[in-house]
Amino acid sequence: MEIASGTVLRLAEDASVQHVGDGAVVLLARSGQLYTCNGTTEAFLDKVDGARSLDQIVGLLCEEFEVDKGTLDEDMAALATELVSEGILAAPAA
């Protein structure tokens, strides 16, 4: 299931992001799982606030990284789908 561009995302209740060095780590308190994030994922997670849609986040990232929106749309939809499936992100209605 791919995340639609209008979907508003938030961090899952038990997920927390900590910035370390050139990236970040995500801790899922429920399972104790720790995920390392690269700079792109860190920038994406920094913009997930429970109010912005995926499309709005992509727009902000396009400005920040000066990258083609079409490519970033696909990449961030895939990333969001993966993060939701891992339990790191959730849609507000979930």
Residue at 55: amino acid letter: D
Instruction: Print the SS3 string covering 27-86.
Output: EECCCCEEEEECHHHHHHHHHCCCCCEHHHHHHHHHHHHCCCHHHHHHHHHHHHHHHHHC
Fold of 10-85: Outer Surface Protein A; domain 3 (3.90.930)
Indicate the helix (H) or strand (E) that contains 10. strand 10-11
- CA dihedral 77→50→18→35, nearest 10 degrees, is -40
Per-domain boundaries in the chain: 10-85
Across the 94 residues of the chain, what is the mean pLDDT of every consecutive 10-residue run? 89 95 92 93 96 96 91 94 95 62
Model pTM score: 0.90
